[in-house]
Amino acid sequence: MKKTIITVVGKDTVGIIAKVCTYLANNRINILDISQTIVQEYFNMMMIVDLGTAEKPFDTISDELAQIGEEIGVIVKCQREEIFNSMHRI
Amino acid sequence: MINTHEVVETNQMIEKENLDVRTITLGISLLDCIDADLETLKKKIYDKITTVAKDLVHTGKEIEKKYAIPIVNKRISVTPIALIGAAACKEPADFVQIAETLDAAAKQVGVNFLGGYSALVSKGMTTADEMLIRSIPQALAKTDRVCSSVNLGSTKTGINMDAVRLLGQIVKETAEATKENDSLGCAKLVVFCNAPDDNPFMAGAFHGVTEADAIINVGVSGPGVVKTALEAVRGESFEVLCETIKKTAFKVTRVGQLVAKEASKMLGVPFGIIDLSLAPTPAVGDSVADILKEIGLEQPGAPGTTAALALLNDQVKKGGVMASSYVGGLSGAFIPVSEDQGMIEAVEAGALTLEKLEAMTCVCSVGLDMIAVPGDTKASTISGIIADEMALGMVNQKTTAVRIIPAVGKKIGDRVEFGGLLGYAPIMPVNPFGCDAFVERAGRIPAPIHSFKN
């Protein structure tokens, strides 16, 4: 399992989750956990996904997700889980 | 599983508080390049560096992408060149040729600095050591990315005052040789007492002879992160203050450890150490001075500064040590003037003087760093300043350093501009009284009594 954290931050609009999830489904990326809040009209989403079954390399997925983010006016960021584990777990 | 709060906290540190990995430094041993023929030596050096480090920059960028954490610098340190060039170099100009080779290799692999144009002369100078030292002004004037350092003393050996005297002149000559660029050469020359073999930070990085063929050392940073964490505990007790710094240092260091391990794996080079330094940059919000202010000082340099810095330095180490399997290098808070916006402001406000900075260096890593002084400061005065700082290191069994810029043609009230990470610095006043007769004495200062522990 290659756990990766996807965060989406930006102004709330219709179809953010749909667009991101469609991309993930098309690329055989399984979603393990998803949480979402809206703070002062700002959309804040975090997903934990598994890139283990994905065919594309991390780099490409990260770039393509960022591209989708640009199209809908939000920032989509892809990070390997290890950075959070190292920082927040002993 | 990781929760939203933790993800947001990490990304806020990266995006808003300037959390970054300051440098991945690849140490490369050049001992196997030694040759009596200068041309052959140069070729071997160039080939070795461009082979071992060929993937360094690319690997750094890949790791940046994977974790979305900026890795500001990718650098190289090499075995002290005085040792490598000893058999081949007959005059200082020969050493300059090696510096040019190093510069070409650094440019080829795309690193922004290469350290190790160095000599270790804490007790005595060989002929080659002296030639290398005498070649420093030209070497730094003719290259862009080469950094130079000289170890002038240690707790075990005492202080080599002949070398201290010589370095006073060399610093002046380096300033003169690079006067067209605000004496920029001096920003790439640092002198040490108790220089560590595994320091990843420039200008003082070199690959010590105690090290393996190649090694990855990583310098973390994050003054902005500590500052922000402290904003939440204003007015709280020292216990709360210290706990907060410690926890923050832990988190910052863990990121460095992750990056170091990853770089080590990808490059097939063993991991050496994490340097736990709080290294500021001229960027707003990336300042050690701002942490001192947050702790409760109106300006760095105010009474209480040394105590606040001692506390900060100690807590950073305590948090960092737990976060990494190996720590080393300089490990502590850096207090350069030109590279820290808050320090610059403190100097300009008249709060921070050379003497207070000297006191501060007793309790934190490194020393008088990136300090610009009037261009007419005498060589003997610079040697005196160096000797003072070396004495602090020798007696306190710690690393100390001096990186001082006697900016040619500049006087108090002026300012030197280096640009980029090196920043800018106001010219600071120097004590006008002389120390010529002291510096003129030949020989060395003996090691202190507490160094004899056998």
ipTM comes to 0.88
A64-87: string of b/e by CB count within 10 Å (b at 16+)?
Answer: ebeebbeebebebbbbbbbbbebb
Q: Which residues of A touch B16 (CB under 8 A)?
A: none
Q: Rounded CA gap, B163 and B445, in Å?
A: 11
Q: Which residues of B touch A81 (CB under 8 A)?
A: 2
Q: Which residues of A touch B11 (CB under 8 A)?
A: 7, 77
A4 touches chain B (CB under 8 A): no
B1 touches chain A (CB under 8 A): yes
Residue B88: how many CB atoms within 10 A of its CB? Answer: 21
Sign of CA dihedral B423, B429, B432, B435: negative
The strand ranges marked E within B204-345 are 214-220, 271-275
Size of interface A-B (CB pairs under 8 A): 57
Interface test with A, best of B11, B63, B69, B259 (most A CBs within 10 A): B11
Q: Rounded CA gap, B368 and B171, in Å?
A: 14
Q: Rounded CA gap, B393 and B193, in Å?
A: 6
Residue B152 pLDDT: 98
How many angstroms away from the CA of A78 is the closest CA of chain B?
Answer: 7
A46 touches chain B (CB under 8 A): yes
Residue A30, token pair as written in the block: 């399984």
Say if CB B309 and CB B352 are below 8 A apart: no
Residue B124, token pair as written in the block: 């005595």
pLDDT tens readout for residues B222-273 = 899 999 999 999 999 999 999 999 999 999 999 999 999 999 999 999 999 9
Q: Rounded CA gap, B194 and A84, in Å?
A: 36
Sketch out chain A's domains with CATH numbers.
Answer: 3-88 (3.30.70.260)
Say if CB B91 and CB B139 are below 8 A apart: no
Say if CB B409 and CB B179 are below 8 A apart: yes
pLDDT in tens, chain A (90 residues): 789 999 999 988 888 889 999 999 999 999 999 998 887 778 889 999 999 999 999 999 999 999 999 999 999 999 999 999 999 988
Residue B331 pLDDT: 86
- Determine whether the interchain pair A79/B255 forms a contact, defined as Cβ–Cβ distance below 8 Å: no
Residue B423 pLDDT: 85
How many angstroms away from the CA of B260 is the closest CA of chain A?
Answer: 12
Look up the CATH architecture of domain B22-193: Alpha-Beta Barrel (3.20)
A37, A78, A83 ranked by CB distance to B255: nearest? A83
Say if CB B200 and CB B6 are below 8 A apart: no
How many angstroms away from the CA of B253 is the closest CA of chain A?
Answer: 8
**Domain boundaries defined on chain B:** 22-193
Say if CB B421 and CB B370 are below 8 A apart: no
3-state secondary structure B123-183: CCCCHHHHHHHHHHHHHHHHCCCEEEEEEEEECCCEEEHHHHHHHHHHHHHHHHHCHHHCC
How many angstroms away from the CA of B226 is the closest CA of chain A?
Answer: 14
- Determine whether the interchain pair A86/B8 forms a contact, defined as Cβ–Cβ distance below 8 Å: no
Residue B24 pLDDT: 95
B258 touches chain A (CB under 8 A): yes
Q: Tell me which chain B residue has its CA closest to the CA of residue A85.
A: B2
- Determine whether the interchain pair B6/A33 forms a contact, defined as Cβ–Cβ distance below 8 Å: no
pTM of the model: 0.93
What are the distances in angstroms from CA A62 to CA A7, A56, A76, A90, B6? 11, 10, 8, 28, 20
pLDDT less than 50: residues of chain B = none
